[in-house]
Structure 1
Amino acid sequence: MKSPVERQPLPWTYAARVTRVFDGDTLWVKPLAGGRYRKLRLDGVDAPEICQSGGPAARAALAALVLDQVVTVRVRAFDDYGRALAQVSAGGDDMAAALVRSGHAWSARWRRSLGPYAAEELQARAERKGVFVVDSAETPREFRRRHGPCPMP
């Protein structure tokens, strides 16, 4: 059975304060209108796992952008873990795009698509930023396939 939050018509937009950054693409927010804290996953990106090379830097980059800030959350869907897949923006800037541009995340690929942030990833690769400082950077998907999930702290 879906929670009341998951029954909202989508897309669904609200303002919230970021209270915790778990890793480079997962964060917790508290809606300004009240209600429970919500766990979000940035839609359209895949950041390094926290135990993967580049993971702590990705978390720090996202925290520097949004922690304790008021953001606009636009929920598109929910993933298999109940997290909202959302576009998060602060000051009109898309945080997922900022992470990819700075080399702290990959544009999420799906089948033959290079994902919604392919241009930002191409720019970060050309400028050798973040994880793209080396050509052979392992994607989070490949890292999870080879090593499984990171151990809980």
Structure 2
Amino acid sequence: MRPILNRRVLQTPPKSTMRLDPARHCPRCRFAPAFLALALSAAPVLAAPPRPAAPPLQGVVTEVVDGSTLAFAMAGQAPLRLRLRDIEVPEACQPGADDARRALAERAQGKPALVQLSGRRDAQGRTLAAVRVDEADLSRRMVEDGFAWSTRSKWDRGPLVKQERMAEALHRGLHGHGGQLSPTEFRRRHGACPAAPRK
């Protein structure tokens, strides 16, 4: 005879109440949909490509004021007063100021130029800009030729410090004069020059 097997009735255990009401047992879970919606709404912004740089302005350098300041005019428009970005030139009362102005005039006066505005202004209200003449960046060229210094701060040695050191080692421009001080060092020792009347 076959043995009689005890048939047990399998009972389905009661479903966990956590599955039925997660917010009751997990207070943080009630905010999950809101966080998810916020993340999804921000995704298109995070994935958006950076804005392309504005095209350079085309015009002519109409005036050179000093070693880093010039007037730039587009056809039919009033001139813009620009300051070359990333450089410092001798102060108006510092030896070498006239040499720096003449150097910039030789390289830019009356020539066609491409200007990329930075959107920032200095303390004198001049717009900082990158200016290209004869396919050369004027800031870089002035430093390479020894008539300007790379701007620097406490935490930044400056974008053109390599060109500055090369010009100094080769005694180019103002570096050929013994004892020439950088504009920063000149101001530290002697203070700022008296304000000149604005043209």
Aligned to 2:100: 58
Aligned to 2:58: 15
Cα deviation, residue 115, structure 1: 1.0
Aligned to 1:48: 90
Higher helix share: 2
- Which ranges of structure 2 fall in alignment gaps of 5 or more residues? 1-52
The match for 1:143 among 164, 182, 186 is 186
Aligned to 1:25: 68
2:130 matches 1:87: yes
Q: CA RMSD in A?
A: 2.1
Q: Which amino acid aligns with 1:116?
A: P
* Deviates further, 122-131 or 55-64: 122-131
The match for 1:97 among 123, 134, 140 is 140
Aligned to 1:7: none
Give the structure-1-normalised TM-score.
0.83
Q: Which amino acid aligns with 1:102?
A: D
Q: Is the 8 A contact 1:12 1:75 kept in 2?
A: no
Give the structure-2-normalised TM-score.
0.65
Aligned to 1:152: 196
Aligned to 1:6: none
Q: Is the 8 A contact 2:82 2:126 kept in 1?
A: yes
Deviations 1:78-126 (A, max 9, x none): 2232211001101220011110011100001122322111111011011
Aligned to 2:157: 114
**Larger Cα Rg: Structure 1 or Structure 2?**
2
The match for 2:79 among 22, 37, 41 is 37
Matched-pair identity in %? 33
Q: CA 1:144–1:89 in structure 2 vs 1: closer, same or farther (change >3 Å)?
A: same
| Relative contact order, higher structure (CA 8 A, sep 6+) | 1
Deviations 1:6-43 (A, max 9, x none): xxxx76620121111111001111123x3211100000
Higher strand share: 1
**4+ aligned runs moved over 4 Å, structure 1:** none
